[in-house]
Amino acid sequence: MQTEQLDAILSIALFAAFADGVKDERERTEVRRIAESLTGEAGAPDLARRYQDVLMKRVTLAGVVNSLNAPEQRHLAYEMAVCVCAADGRQTEAERRFLGELQQLLGLAAGEAATLAAPADAIAEAAAPEAVAATPAAAASAPAEAELDRTTLNYAILAGALELLPQSWASMAIIPLQLKLVHRIGEMHGVSLDQGHIREFLATAGVGLTSQYLEQFGRKLIGGLLGKAVGKTFGKLGGAATGIAFSFATTWALGQVARRYYAGGRQMSGDVLRQSFQGLLGPAKDLQQRYLPQIEETARGLDAQRVMALLKGNGPV
């Protein structure tokens, strides 16, 4: 894929990220940071500039779409846009209108678009925990530290393994996996919250859902992993190494912060949550190197059916 097509597909990702107006300034800041970081990748388009072009409406969606000629490029662009819009587990009316416009501009039939959107819709549905009334943490016995360690590590290894899969839905599955981890740790402390509360916890800790998916997808696309057979990625990680470290570290650090938050009776302030999360990312990246063989082995056993089963399951990963 040429730089022009990479630029177009990632620009469509930015249009999708802004489709609902990006009312949350935290998310807007994260999207800008990601655009700047991906610009520094070898062979990457100037996404920092394109971020400004999209935000300031200096380019149009129709103009960007015109750069995509091959059907597989247009399919990937639409699938990516659906995943960005569904990254936080819900689609607004504005996002649905955007996807309808994009479908028409890409020349996709309704059935074709539905097929491309199916994996994202299935992941969003599978990942949504049922709303459960909160139970006071004091009413439950303290969970064993060894069990908390094992649960957090297993989720982090799975998140890293998903980065090795070539399909775009694999990156999307990382975010609901993290939602499930926080939900699971809360349950282990006697507290069950609905997905809205968990999303807010992640946002307060500094983990933007849409922006995180955009970064994961962008690194895969720029690294050339998308579209390759999964068997060809093992033994030659290349650009996937950054994505593995990012997803493993983010998931592990998030689990550790959730442990502290629930163990402390949910008394941590937003500033303390963010500082704790950022402070744990460095050690988590070092830890990832130790578990790289397990991450690769886990990836070999993953497919869409297995991932869906993990997201739907109520027990630990």
pLDDT for 85-122, tens place per residue? 876 666 788 889 999 999 999 999 999 898 888 877 77
Residue where a domain terminates, one of 101, 117, 133: 117
Residue type, 215: E
Rounded CA-CA distance 244/31 in Å is 20
The mean per-residue pLDDT over the stretch 25-51 comes to 66
The answer to whether the CB of 274 falls within 8 A of the CB of 203 is: no
Average pLDDT, the chain: 77
Classify the C-alpha dihedral 296-300-302-304 as positive or negative: positive
Based on the fold, state whether residues 108 and 131 are members of the same structural domain: no
Q: Specify the pLDDT at position 139.
A: 44
Rg (CA), the chain: 19
Under 8 Å CB-to-CB from 150, ≥6 apart: which residues?
Answer: 316
At residue 242 the predicted structure's pLDDT band, cuts being 50, 70 and 90, is low
Under 8 Å CB-to-CB from 242, ≥6 apart: which residues?
Answer: 219, 223
Tell whether 253 is covered by a domain.
yes
Based on the fold, state whether residues 226 and 109 are members of the same structural domain: no
Q: Specify the pLDDT at position 39.
A: 64
Based on the fold, state whether residues 151 and 242 are members of the same structural domain: yes
Tell whether 295 is covered by a domain.
yes
Tell whether 317 is covered by a domain.
no
Tell whether 300 is covered by a domain.
yes
Tell whether 218 is covered by a domain.
yes
Rounded CA-CA distance 317/310 in Å is 7
Q: Specify the pLDDT at position 257.
A: 92
Based on the fold, state whether residues 194 and 267 are members of the same structural domain: yes
Based on the fold, state whether residues 143 and 90 are members of the same structural domain: no
Based on the fold, state whether residues 82 and 24 are members of the same structural domain: yes
Based on the fold, state whether residues 155 and 296 are members of the same structural domain: yes
Which residue's structure tokens are 């993990």? 310
* pLDDT at position 151 over 70: yes
Q: Specify the pLDDT at position 130.
A: 47
* Alpha helix segments (H runs only) across 107-144: 110-127
Angle between helices 240-263 and 145-162 (to 10 degrees): 150
Please report, rounded to a whole number, the percentage of residues in the chain having pLDDT higher than 70.
69
Residue where a domain terminates, one of 117, 146, 181: 117
Rounded CA-CA distance 4/237 in Å is 25
* pLDDT at position 137 over 60: no
Residue where a domain terminates, one of 68, 90, 117: 117
- Number of domains composing the chain: 2
The answer to whether the CB of 28 falls within 8 A of the CB of 21 is: no
Based on the fold, state whether residues 65 and 27 are members of the same structural domain: yes
Tell whether 17 is covered by a domain.
yes
CATH of the domain at 32: 1.10.3680
For residue 136, how many other CB atoms are within 10 A of its CB?
9
Which residue's structure tokens are 């994260």? 30
Q: Specify the pLDDT at position 230.
A: 33
pLDDT digits over 247-302, tens only? 898 899 999 999 998 888 888 888 888 889 889 988 888 888 899 999 999 988 88
Based on the fold, state whether residues 232 and 133 are members of the same structural domain: yes
Q: Which domain holds residue 308?
A: 125-312
Residue type, 189: H
Based on the fold, state whether residues 174 and 262 are members of the same structural domain: yes
Based on the fold, state whether residues 257 and 175 are members of the same structural domain: yes
